[in-house]
């Protein structure tokens, strides 16, 4: 790993943790993106809160893109057809598991929630297995 | 409303964290998940830092009487390790390993629209809606109603 990514990784991670803490302080909620976004798709009574949060998320991406237009923000190296399948799996799977890397991986793990520890272990393991296989079969270079 | 302005700001802060940490770049995520290749441990440090901050500070928040804008703290109460949890996590993991996106980074990257991320966001939404639809569906009724006349 290049030394260039170590400090930004720690700092960026701290921002993620801070955002989670702030959301708990202000709204009493777990910061789980699949939950916040998934719930916004339905008729949740707190829809406007969810939309505001997501708007902030997308806006930060827009600002980042504006500041660094050549940065590879969100460019997956995987063929589009497989990206489409990946989306279905992530959408369905996160709702079935009631969480993702933020909800389970950060918030749940911090609470030492057994459910989150199990979920995180499973999606990490499957993620690694899949990425290794995809790299070998498709030659997707990371 | 101050509550919504705050929600937007926190969403933006989280997004900034994803960008700064490099987690909004799928090749970096795949670089971590692909342990058989040239391994990139960045994600590990991101998670460790995030968990470190959250674990250290959130207990103090939870000691407060109530959140600023709502009546109570909502910590998930479900403790069951059930099939949905494990299967869901497995499906999510496979999808994550395939394209290198999970929900947060995908939404942030919509700020820099590309065919990859838009495709992912659309099908992720479809996948979520599919789950909602399946959850609402009652157990399959018998195909033959009691009063169907004999064929």
Taking a C-beta distance cutoff of 8 angstroms, is the pair B92, A94 a contact? yes
Burial label for A127, CB within 10 Å (0-12, 13-18, 19+), is buried
Q: Quickly count: other Cβ atoms within 10 Å of residue B95's Cβ.
A: 32
- Determine contact: A79 vs chain B, CB below 8 A: no
Query: How large is the C-alpha radius of gyration of chain B?
Result: 21
Q: Of the ranges A3-7, A40-44, A84-88, B145-149, which one carries the lowest mean pLDDT score?
A: B145-149
What whole-number distance in Å separates Cα of residue A17 and Cα of residue A19? 5
Are A21 and B61 in contact, with CB atoms under 8 Å apart? yes
Q: Which residues contact A52 (CB under 8 A, 6 or more apart)?
A: B4, B5, B7, B8, B11
CB contact under 8 A, A76 and B116: yes
Place of tokens 């999606």: A123
Of B36, B52, B102, the CB nearest to A90: B102
- Give mean pLDDT, residues B24-34: 95
Chain-wide mean pLDDT for chain B? 91
pLDDT computed for residue B148 by the predictor: 44
Quick one: CA torsion of A118, A127, B90, A129, rounded to 10 degrees?
Answer: -100
pLDDT value at B81 more than 50: yes
**Interval B97-111: pLDDT, tens:** 999 999 999 999 999
pLDDT in tens, A115-131: 999 999 999 999 999 99
Mutate which: B2, B3, B5, B18, vs A, most A CBs within 10 A: B18
Angle ∠(B87,B89,B93) on CA atoms, nearest 5: 115
Question: Chain B, 28-87: which have a CB under 8 Å from a chain A CB?
Answer: 28, 30-31, 33-38, 40-43, 45-55, 57-58, 61-62, 64, 66-76, 78-81, 84-87
Q: State yes or no: pLDDT of B66 exceeds 70.
A: yes
Q: How many CB pairs under 8 A join A and B?
A: 506
Tell me the whole-structure pTM to 2 decimals. Answer: 0.92
Distance in angstroms (rounded) separating the CA atoms of residues B92 and B97: 9
Shortest Cα–Cα distance, A28 to chain B (Å)? 4
């Amino acid at each position: 790993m290049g030394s260039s990514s170590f400090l930004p990784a720690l700092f960026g991670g701290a921002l993620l943790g801070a955002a989670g803490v702030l959301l708990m302080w202000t709204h009493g909620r777990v910061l789980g993106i699949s939950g916040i976004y998934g719930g916004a798709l339905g008729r949740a009574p707190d829809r406007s809160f969810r939309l505001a949060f997501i708007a902030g998320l997308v806006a930060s991406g827009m600002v980042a893109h504006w500041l660094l237009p050549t940065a590879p923000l969100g460019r997956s190296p995987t063929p589009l057809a497989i990206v489409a399948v990946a989306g279905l799996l992530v959408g369905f799977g996160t709702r079935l598991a009631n969480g993702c890397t933020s909800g389970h991986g950060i918030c749940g793990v911090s609470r030492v929630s057994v459910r989150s520890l199990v979920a995180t272990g499973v999606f990490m393991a499957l993620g690694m297995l899949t990425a290794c296989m995809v790299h070998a079969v498709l030659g997707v270079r990371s | 409303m101050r509550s919504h302005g705050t929600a937007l700001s926190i969403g933006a802060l989280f997004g900034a964290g994803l960008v700064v940490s490099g987690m909004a770049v799928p090749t970096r995520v795949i670089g971590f998940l692909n342990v058989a290749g040239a391994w990139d441990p960045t994600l590990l440090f991101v998670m460790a830092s995030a968990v470190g901050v959250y674990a250290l500070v959130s207990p103090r928040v939870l000691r407060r009487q109530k959140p600023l804008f709502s009546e109570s703290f909502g910590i998930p109460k479900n403790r069951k390790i059930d099939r949905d949890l494990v299967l869901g996590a497995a499906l999510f993991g496979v999808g994550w390993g395939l394209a290198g996106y999970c929900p947060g980074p995908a939404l942030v990257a919509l700020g820099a629209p590309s065919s990859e991320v838009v495709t992912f966001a659309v099908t992720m939404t479809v996948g979520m809606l599919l789950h909602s639809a399946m959850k609402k569906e009652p157990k399959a009724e018998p195909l033959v109603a009691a009063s169907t006349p004999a064929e």
